[in-house]
Structures are given as structure tokens and as C-alpha cells.
Amino acid sequence: MKLDLNEQPHRRYNILTGEWVLVSPHRTKRPWQGKQEKTVTDDRPFYDKACYLCPGNKRASGDINPNYTSVYSFKNDFSALLEDTPSTTIEDGLLVAKGEKGICKVVCFSPNHSLTLPLMPVPSIEDVITIWQKEFDELGAIRDINYVQIFENKGAVMGCSNPHPHGQIWSQNSIPQEVIKKGEQQLRYWQTNTKSLLGDYLNQEIKANERIIWQDKYFIAVVPYWAIWPYEVIIAPKRHLQRITDLTDKEKASFAKAIKVTTTKYDNLFETSFPYSSGIHQAPTNGLAYDEWHFHMSFYPPLLRSATVKKFMVGYEMFANPQRDITAEQAAQTLRSLSETHYLT
């Protein structure tokens, strides 16, 4: 009896982490009587005098923001990591701790308090990528900084503490767990095949053309086969690149377009300012080559059925492994069918 991936429960393997996700497509037929929320309107002014991130305003630290006119980055006033933390290890039987030093930055995408990435023109998103590249280079060059994590939490539901569109960059001494897992999987494949694991996967996606939501000559946006979140997307360069600093100007413009299209389709899906966490995974900055690494950007959005119904990691997901109902193919078909023009324009 042949397994029907669109109708029957099955597990899918994540080639980048070595982990599995349970897919239960038959559950999409179940009625929803769970939590419903009111739709939150995202009507913000160009400038908010009470916003800590708007140009010219005073931050909580007492520092005054310059009257910036484009992208603006600064050291986080409430950094999760500190530069002067001692790298001491404490061991007490089975209790082990080690000091972790690092530097955290905030990146304001625009001086406009209301302008999220999907509403920004592509050249302005290119400016954001340019700042990411600059910060990656400068932070990664610092002794004892071995990894630079670029990410964005969009929306209050994702824990964003300030509505002004911005992202963060955390750089640190150790290499984070998710990066280690992806690095190990890519290295194993590279050593066996002398080819990029993600590159070969993208070529297979291009041939299948089932989960792609956008592509051009340089970049591709795809709902990964092993997606956990309902409308999860990976954006990746078609060329085998270890870091965002390896991009040509044309590739950077393509990357910006991929971000613009993906986030616009997200907003268009339920006609709301779509929340998500996004992050870029790339090679560490500890001086090694990491030929196996293929950089990529992932989007993890929680919305499931509407602007008010979210996907939570609870129960089975907490105690066993991740699970999803709609298949990656269904999610991709939905996103692919949506306009690349924002519903507000």
C-alpha cells in the first residue's frame, strides 16, 4: 500500500538538522473551536515621539538617536550578552556553567515608524542587507566573537518589545546549538559528496517545482519539505555561498527582492501585518573556512488558519517532536498564488 503524503500521517526528515517533523494532513478537516482573538490593527504614524527607536528620540539608556535617514544600527541598551563577561567555567558535580561574552546590536530598518519590510522598496531592503554585511564583518573580526546571529522578531506575539520596524544582531563567543546541528549535517554531506547539501536540495526543489514560492536567477524562496511552522519559508542563494558578505551586487538585489516578495505574500495571506521570527544561518567567524556551509534565511511565522488563529508548540511538540497539519506543498501553493503587490498599496 503506497503512502499518500497529502492524506496520511507521516514523518519528514530535516536534512539540515537531522531531526524529524510529524505531518498529519488529515487533521486539517477538524473544526476549530479553540482560541480566537480580535484582529489587531497595525496603524502607526510616520514618527512616534514616545518611541525609543525613532530618529532624534531619547532611548531608555539616556542616549539620543541621531536624525538618521536610512538604516541605523547601535549597541543594544539591554544586551543579552556583555563584552566584559569572564569566560570562567564553574563545575559542581552535575551542575556546569560557563561565562558567555558577546556584543548585541539593534538595526532600525527605516526612520519611518510604520514601515515594515514588505512595505519598503527593494533598494531600501538592500540598504538593510548592507548593514547586516557591515556588522557581520566588523563583529566577526573581533577576537573571541565566533558567531554572528542576525534575526528579526516581527509583531508583539513574537516578543517584539518595540513596534518600530527593527531587527537584532547577537554576536558571541560560542557557536549556538542550531548552528552546530546544521554545520554537522552540511559537513557530513560535503565530506561524502564534495558538494553543498543545501545546494543539492535546492536543485531538487527546482526540478520538483512543488514548494517554490518565488525564484529568479540568483535566489529562491521555498517552503522546505520538512517545514515545522505552517507557512515556514527558506530564502537561499542558488550559488554556494558561506556568508552574506560573499554576495555580488546583483545577488544582494535578488536577496532583497526575495525578502520583499516573501514578506508581502505573508501580509497578503490574511491581510494583516504578518508576525514571524526570521534569522540568517551562515558560517561561523572563528577563522576556519567552512567550505560546507551554504547560508540561508529562515522565516518561522505562527499564523495557521487566519490572522487570529496561531500555531503553538505544545503537548506532543514539547514532549516528543514537532508536528504540523497542513503539508509543505499546501502551504507553498497558497503562498505562491498570492500577489507580490501588497494589499495596502
Mean local confidence (pLDDT), 121-134: 98
Q: Of 113, 164, 166, 240, which is the active-site residue?
A: 166
Burial of 138 (0-12, 13-18, 19+ CB in 10 A): middle
On whether the CB atoms of residues 179 and 281 are closer than 8 A, the answer is yes
Q: What are the start-end ranges of the E strands in the chain?
A: 10-14, 19-23, 72-75, 89-92, 95-98, 102-108, 147-154, 166-172, 212-215, 219-222, 233-237, 276-281, 296-300, 303-306, 309-310, 323-324
Of residues 27 and 148, the one with the higher pLDDT is 148
Q: How far apart are CA 197 and CA 195, in angstroms?
A: 6
pTM greater than the 0.85 cutoff: yes
- Is the predicted pLDDT of residue 27 greater than 90, yes or no? no
pLDDT per residue as tens digits for the range 157-212? 776 778 899 999 999 999 999 999 999 999 999 999 999 999 999 999 999 999 99
Q: Grid cell 508581502 — which residue? A: 264
Name the pLDDT band for 32 (thresholds 50, 70, 90). very low
At 36 the pLDDT is 46
pLDDT per residue as tens digits for the range 5-19? 888 999 999 999 999
Which percentage of the chain shows pLDDT scores above 90?
Answer: 83
Instruction: Say whether 166 is catalytic.
Output: yes
pLDDT per residue as tens digits for the range 229-273? 999 999 999 999 999 999 999 999 999 999 999 999 999 999 999
Q: How far apart are CA 10 and CA 3, in angstroms?
A: 8
